[in-house]
Amino acid sequence: MGSLTVLLQLTLLVSFAILIFQANGQGLKVGFYPYKWPNLEPVIKDVIYKVISEDRTLAPPLQRMHFHDCFIRGCEGSFLLESPTKQAEKDAFPNLTLRGFQILDKVKLAVEKACSGDVSSADIMGPFWEVETGRKDGKVSILNEALTGLIPPSANISTLKKGFADRGLNMKDLVVLSGSHTIGISHCSSFSNRLYNFTGKNDADPTLDSEYAAKLKQKCKPGDQNSIVEMDPGSFKTFDVSYFTLVAKRRGLFESDAALLNDGETKAYLKFQALNKGPTFFKDFGESMVKMGRIGVITGEGGEIRKVCTKVN
Ligand X SMILES: *[C@@H]1O[C@H](CO)[C@@H](O)[C@H](O)[C@H]1NC(C)=O
Q: Which does 68 bind (CB under 5 to 8 A by kind): ligand HEM, ligand X, none?
A: none
- For ligand X, the binding residue among 197, 210, 225, 276 (CB under 6 A) is 197
Q: Is 186 assigned a ligand-binding role in the annotation?
A: no
* Residue 69 marked in a binding site: yes
Residue nearest to ligand X (CB): 200
Interaction of residue 159 with ligand X, rule CB under 6 A = yes
Phi, psi at residue 212, to the nearest 5°?
A: -65, -40
187 is catalytic: no
Q: Interacting stretch for ligand HEM, rule CB under 6 A, among 38-46, 57-65, 78-86, 107-115?
A: 57-65
91 binds, among ligand HEM, ligand X, none (CB under 5 to 8 A by kind): ligand X
Is position 242 annotated in a ligand binding site?
A: no
Q: Which does 95 bind (CB under 5 to 8 A by kind): ligand HEM, ligand X, none?
A: ligand X
User: How many C-beta atoms lie closer than 10 Å to residue 254's C-beta?
Assistant: 19
d(CA 104, CA 111): 10
Phi, psi of 30 (to 5 degrees): -70, 130
* Bridge partners for 308 per DSSP: 311
Chain residues binding ligand X by CB under 6 A are 90-91, 95-96, 98, 101, 156, 158-159, 197, 200, 202
Please enumerate, by residue number, every residue annotated as part of a binding site for Ca(2+): 69, 74, 78, 89, 182, 232, 240
The residues carrying an active-site annotation are 68
